[in-house]
Amino acid sequence: MIALQPSSEFKAENQNSFDLEKIFFVLKDQSFLTINGSNLAVLTNDEYTWSGMETLQDFFLGYIENKACYAVELTQSSPILADTQLSPIRALLGLLPDNLFTICSRSLQLIDWFKHNQFCGICGKKMNMHQAERAMTCSCNTNLIYPRISPCIIVLVTKGEDLLLAHNKNFPGKFYSTLAGFIEAGETSEEAIHREIEEEVNIKVKNIQYYGSQSWPFPSQLMLGYHAEYLSGEIQPDGNEIDEANWFNYKQLPSVPSGKISISGRLIEHFLEIKSHN
């Protein structure tokens, strides 16, 4: 098996145009082949070929450490390699270095896209992989389907020393996070921020600052992270998605996501860092 360095850069590509050593990331449903439950099992070509595992389809992902990366999906009845396990991706969050998380996220999204686009939505015929592009195509020549990415905004709203954190109905226990939502068709990310925050907690914001983004493969979100400042309004949770929301002083935060796992945690940690220097 291959041990990849956490500092190695992964470069996404759609066509493998070099004769490089191939390495394989193996998954089934939303679980990845691991060793000891937490380290991704990255297989060499020989290990993959002789493993006896039955796979459905392989997807070229891109390059890392001068090697060509592939994701392969196991059939439901496939055996797995001795001394390995299948670990759900959610159990690996926070344990994987960023480069491996990117590879896992890309693997999940490409497989999901492929599965959901087997038939043409225009004429109903079976679709095929495009020869040159990462797209599914149909012989009716009117339908070219690229992997779907759904942009979302995720925003940390602050007021002086306070952070606006919300409890989503689906969160377990007393766990709070930043506000988030899908960008609607035709909307800019800034418009989505104003609309979502007002809808979810009845607050108006100002001074929107882009922070960074994170790919979130459940199933295909691109989370665009922003800081924003309070402008006006009283907090009023919408009761649908958000059942509780409050201002929390940065020195007394409730249970929040870790920056190792999500951009929500990174936004919070970034704000705490700014405050600790003030």
Q: Where does this chain bind Zn ion (CB under 5 A)?
A: 120, 122-123, 125, 138, 140, 143
* Least spacing, CB of residue 152 vs Zn ion, in Å: 30
Work out how close the CB of 81 gets to Zn ion at its nearest, in angstroms, rounded to a whole number: 39
The distance of closest approach from Cβ of residue 221 to Zn ion in the complex, given in angstroms and rounded to an integer, is: 28
Q: Least distance in Å: CB of 138 to Zn ion?
A: 3
- Residue 143 CB, nearest distance to Zn ion (Å)? 5
Q: Which is nearer to Zn ion, 125 or 206 (CB)?
A: 125
Judged by CB, which is closer to Zn ion: 144, or 274? 144
Q: Which is nearer to Zn ion, 138 or 166 (CB)?
A: 138
Rounded Cα distance, 163 and 267, in Å: 11
Phi-psi region of 156 (alpha: psi -120 to 50; beta: other; left: phi over 0): beta
127/201 with CB nearer Zn ion: 127
CA–CA distance, 60 with 107 (Å, rounded to integer): 9
Nearer to Zn ion, 51 or 137 (CB): 137
Q: Cβ contacts of residue 275 below 8 Å, gap of 6+? A: 161, 250
Give the residue with the Cβ less far from Zn ion, 12 or 122: 122
The distance of closest approach from Cβ of residue 2 to Zn ion in the complex, given in angstroms and rounded to an integer, is: 40
Report how far residue 179's alpha carbon sits from residue 245's, in angstroms, rounded to the nearest whole number. 10
Nearest to 71 by CA among 103, 95, 49: 103
Between residues 123 and 144, which has the closer beta carbon with respect to Zn ion? 123
Beta strands per DSSP E along the chain: 10-12, 21-28, 31-35, 39-40, 42-44, 55-64, 67-74, 85-88, 128-129, 136-137, 144-145, 150-159, 162-168, 179-182, 204-216, 221-232, 242-249
Both tokens of residue 137? 């195509």
Distance between CA atoms of residues 117 and 129, nearest Å: 10
Task: Please report how close the Cβ of residue 141 comes to Zn ion at its closest, in angstroms.
Answer: 8
Please state, as a whole number, how many other Cβ atoms lie within 10 Å of the Cβ of residue 241.
16
